[in-house]
Each structure stands twice: as C-alpha cells, then as structure tokens.
Amino acid sequence: MAQKHRLERYHGYLYIAPWLIGFLVLTLYPFVTSLFYSFTKYDIFSWEFAGLKNYVDIFTKDKIFANSLRRTLIYTVIAVPLKLAIALAMATLLARPLRGIGLFRTVYYVPSLLGSSVALSIIWKYLFKSDGLVNMLLKVIGVTGPNWLGDYHITFWTMVLLPMWQMGSPMVIFLAALKTVPEELTEAASIDGANPIQRYFGITLPMISPVIFFNIIMQTIEIIQLFTPAYIITKGGPAKSTYLYALMLYDTSFRDFKMGYASALSWVLFVIIIAFTLLLFRKSSSWVYYKDGEGL
Amino acid sequence: MKRRWITYLVLTLMAVLLGYPILWLIFSSFKPSAEIFASVRLLPKSFTFSGYVEGWRSTSQLPFSTYLLNSAKLVIPTVLLTCVSSVLVAYGFSRFSFPGKRAWFLVMISTLMLPNTILMIPRYILFKNLNVLNSYVPFYLQAAFATNPFFSYLLIQFFRGIPHELDESATIDGCGRMRILVSIILPLARTPIISVALFQTMWTWNDFFNALIYIDTVKMYPVSLGLRLAIDADTAVNWSKIVAMTVVSIAPLILMFLFLQRYFVAGIATSGIKG
C-alpha cells in the first residue's frame, strides 16, 4: 500500500512524459550540443576542436556578420514597435461596440494566415516589383514609383513594411485583452473627471500591460529570426542590404556546411535575445501591472 | 456621431490596405499573364482558367497535385499527433500534483521563448543520424513529443478553468484518471483542442524553413517547396501560373479560417492572456 502510494505521487509524470522526453532529446540535448559545436570546426562529416576561434573570427574578421547583425537589429527595433502600435490602435477601435466589427476583424486577420509562407513572399514580390501593383497604382495618380525591391537604399524599408501587413495576429490578442478591462474602472475614472485620453492611458493601457509585454517578447523573437521573405524575395540583396541574420545562418550552415561556425553565430544571436529579454523583464516591473502580483 | 464616422473611415481604409493585395491576387489568377501587370483593373478583361490549368500541370516536373498531396501527408499526422501529445501533457500539468511540477512547468514556459535558430543545426544532425532526413518523420516526431510548448500551454490554461468538482465526483463514481480525461475533460475542451489543430495546420502548411532543410527530393516536396520551385523555374513572363498556384496554396487556409473563425479567436485569446 505504501509502495503504491509512493508511485501514485509520480502518476503525473506518465502524462507529461511526451513533453519531458521531447524536451530532453529534442530541445535540451540540441541546445547543449549546439554550444559544443560552436567550439569546433565541423563540416557534418568530421569535426575538430577549435577552441574560441569561431567567436574570435566572428568579432574580428567577419564583415558579413557585422552587417547582418546591424541590419537585423535595426529591422527588429523598428518593425516590432511599429507593428504593435498599429495592432493596438486598431484593436482599440474594434473594441468599441459598433456594427460590422466582426467583418473588419476577419479582413485584418487574413494576411496573418499566410504566416511566413512562400505565398506571402510571392504576394509581396508582386506588389513591390518595379512594375508591380503599388507602382501601377502610383502611376494612376501620376507618380513614378521607385524600384522598391531593387534599390539599395529602399529595399530594406520595403521589407520593414512586411510585418505590418500581418498586424492582425497581435491585434486579436490585444482585442481579447481590451475586452477584459472592467467597465467599472473606466466609469469610476470618468466620474472623477478623467477625459477619454486620460482614461485610455491611465487605466486601459496599464490594465492590459501584461499582454503588451507578452506581445513585445513574442514578436521580437519572431521578427529577429525572419527568414523566408529575405530568402525568397530579395535573396539578401541588393548588396546584402536585406541579408538578415537568419538568412546568413542558413547560408553558413546549410549551403557552406560550416556547422561549427554557424553554431557560434547562433549563440551570439541567442545571447543578444536573452540580454534583450532580461532587460525587458527588469524594466517591466516599472510598467507592467499584474493583478495577483505574479508574472507568467 | 461624428466620431463614429471617423472610426469607420479609418477601419475601412485599413481594411482596403490589408485586404486589397489578396483580392487582387485572387482576381489576377483569372487573367492571362500579359494582363496581370498591365493595368490596375481588378476584374479580368478576358476571363481565363489557363493559369490554373497550366500551373496545375507543369509548374515543374511534377503536377501541383503531388505537392498538395504531400502537404496533406505532412500536415494531417502532424496535427493529430500534436493534439494527442498536447492534451496528455496539459492534463498532467493541470490535474496532477507531483514532485518537481512547478520547476518543469517553468522550464516549459521558458522554452516558449527559446529561438529556433539555436536548435536547428543539432536537430538536423540528430535527424540525420536517425536516418530520417528526406521524410516527414522529423515533423511527426516533434509533434508526438510536444516540442512546441505553445499548444500544451494553451490547453493547460483552459484545463485549469474546468472545475475540479467534476473530476472528484467522477472519482467517487469509480472513474480512473484516463477515463476522467476522456469522458469529462475532452468533451468540455473541444473548442481549445480545435484551436490547437487549426494553428498547427496553419503553421505546418506554411512552414517553409523546416521543409527546406529536411526534404531533398522533389517528389517529397510539400506545397511550400513546390511553389518555390515554380517561381525559380519560371522566367519572368508566366505570371498567371504562379499567381494561380499561389491562390491554390492559400485557399485551404482562408476557407478554413472563414468557416472556423471563432476557434482561431478563442485560441489566440486563451494563449495571449494569463488565464
């Protein structure tokens, strides 16, 4: 009986076993080996220990790395806040009790259905190629549009616009959060004489701040690793201006088969993401409000 | 009254901005190639199915139906395995207390934020050593072992909201743990489980990167790689084929969304908000 009772305590492990095994074999083990590979010279067939050489090379010799990292960080730092600001603004409009809201929500979400698919890249290419839809529309009003995907100075910014088209998915998260803000709170504030703008910034936004925080983290991790559009639409060009980090990683590992060097590159990105996340978490205590006093 | 008018104006403007490219794509798929980039007219001047016919037959060596069929073989088992594994894991985390539970749960949540770039090389080498490259097994394995914690997390949030009294009365009636899951939890959790299935369908169907590294031979290509092949193989002029096949590749997702929209919304709402 006592024996059975002791086993009973571990009954839950039976159910979480799929995840636990998956975590150990398909996540933790790769995670650790990736760190190990980053100290080797490894071309898939044979490997030799290389010490810190990969890391030294990355920071002292690799011009492509410096360019890709800089471009990717600028891309992320601009695209994430912009996308979330638009998503939050549209969610705020949709949260009001108006007719036909459901239809708008549907239309806004459709581009997000395409995820990071090839179809998305094809659409973007046809919109912005030199004789594409955007330039045809500009011609109608008498403007000659630029070469959106061919001009060194413009292409990067054309690509920055891409995540905006998919603001629907964070928008739906914001919308659900906005609906949970208790009306009594805003009503009480309005009785106290707060105007709508004060109510929005003083009550509504703080109430949904955990969701804003969640969206910032998830979008940052997603956008900093953006791959498919850079691979399909611009192939990193022109002149490496859209050679985003994930594309560089792919080329280094699966085209040039420098697995050790690529692992080191992925660890550099990982450390940057971790540093950024920790910074956000530390800063978050000053602006993220949790009802029950605990985080995630 | 005036404010409402402005709201509608902004909403409509945004809807046009976001929706127009997709409408344009769909209408363009019925135009001959020469017409697609010749005018901004939405409706085709000469209506034709030739984009679909040609695209279906010969965007590359194989008919497009091969890629669709491959995508089905990739997506369906992946989705089913994801549902089974994430239900079990969510049940374990939400209905049992066991030593180390809190720690494991925190580990799971933190892997939500683990970037895929750091795992891709060792996972690739692992699957290579297991001799399962160029098959859909890497996808099946990752689904069966709940590697994407998003789905378990979503279901945990929901399961926690189901009153424990239901389990307790079933226990008194002599139900075992598995029986409670199947006959009490599952019927109540239909909506979030369908959400899980929809999201995994969408993500696996769209997934280009993993297909690119795991699948080598054309006859195994899912839609994402087949479409890429079509744009690479075709030189400049044959737009209508590519546009038509792009529409074919997104149509299942859009139809699924239009009919099952409420499950998408429910899923997003549960996952994004601390429940």
Residue A247 has pLDDT above 90, yes or no: yes
Q: Are residues B210 and B128 in the same domain?
A: yes
pLDDT in tens, A62-100: 999 999 999 999 999 999 999 999 999 999 999 888 888
What gap in Å lies between CA B71 and CA B226, rounded to an integer? 10
Residues B231-267: tens digit of each pLDDT: 876 566 688 889 999 999 999 999 999 999 888 777 7
Indicate if B128 and B209 belong to the same structural domain: yes
One domain for residues A73 and A127: yes
Same domain, B61 and B168: yes
Within a domain: A46: no
Task: Return the CATH number at B68.
Answer: 1.10.3720.10
Q: Chain A residues with CB inside 8 Å of B255's CB? A: none
Give A164 to chain B, closest Cα distance, Å.
Answer: 9
DSSP run (H or E) holding A47: strand A47-49
| Chain A residues touching residue B37 (CB < 8 angstroms) | 126, 129, 131-132, 136
DSSP state of B223: H
A95 and A205 together in one domain: yes
User: Higher-confidence residue: A190 or B221?
Assistant: B221
Closest Cβ opposite residue A137 in set B40, B117, B147: B40
Q: Say whether both A80 and A20 belong to one domain.
A: no
**pTM for the full model?**
0.91
Indicate whether A17 and A129 sit together in one domain: no
* Contact present, A260 and A58 (Cβ < 8 Å): no
- Report, in angstroms and rounded to the nearest whole number, the Rg of chain A calculated over CA atoms: 24
Give dist(CA A158, CA A149) in Å, integer: 7
Asked if A123 reaches chain B (Cβ–Cβ under 8 Å), the answer is yes
The pLDDT assigned to B50 comes to 86
Mutate to test the interface with A, among B208, B225, B231, B237 (most CBs of A within 10 A): B208
**Pair (B35, B55) in one structural domain:** no
Same domain for B37 and B108, yes or no, is no
Do B153 and B17 have their domain in common?
A: no
Q: Domain containing A12: what range?
A: 1-30
ipTM for the assembly: 0.89
Is residue B96 within 8 angstroms of chain A, CB to CB? Answer: yes
Same domain, B33 and B106: no
Same domain flag for A26 and A70: no
Question: Coil, strand, or helix at residue A112?
Answer: helix
Report the sign of the C-alpha dihedral through residues A133, A138, A140, A143, in that order: negative
Domain span holding position B187:
51-272
Tokens of B139: 């996808």
Claim to verify: residue B89 and residue B222 sit in the same structural domain: yes
Specify the CATH number for the domain of residue A109: 1.10.3720.10
Give the pLDDT score at B131.
Answer: 95
B140 with B31, same domain? no
Number of independent structural domains in chain B:
2
For residue range B177-201, what is the model confidence (pLDDT) as tens digits? Answer: 888 998 889 999 998 999 999 999 9
User: For residue A166, is it within any domain?
Assistant: yes
The CA distance from B8 to B14, in Å, is 10
The shortest C-alpha distance from B251 to chain A (Å) reads: 10
CB A27 within 8 A of CB B106: no
- Would you say A117 and B249 are in contact if contact means Cβ atoms under 8 Å apart? yes
| Mean per-residue pLDDT, A98-118 | 90
For residue A45, tell me if it sits in a domain: no
For residues B24 and B139, membership in a common domain is answered with no
CA–CA gap between residue B100 and residue B102 (Å, rounded)? 6
- Nearest neighbour of A19 by CB, restricted to B40, B146, B257: B146
Q: Is B58 exposed, middle or buried (0-12, 13-18, 19+ CB in 10 A)?
A: middle
Same domain, A76 and A23: no
B169 confidence band (pLDDT: 50, 70, 90): confident
Quick one: which of A15, A11, A8, A25 has its CA closest to B87?
A15
Comparing CA positions, the residue from B99, B169, B182 lying closest to residue A7 is: B99
Are residue B81 and residue B209 in the same domain, yes or no?
A: yes
CA B221, B222, B224, B229: dihedral to nearest 10 degrees? 30
A40 assigned to some structural domain? no
- How many domains, chain A? 2
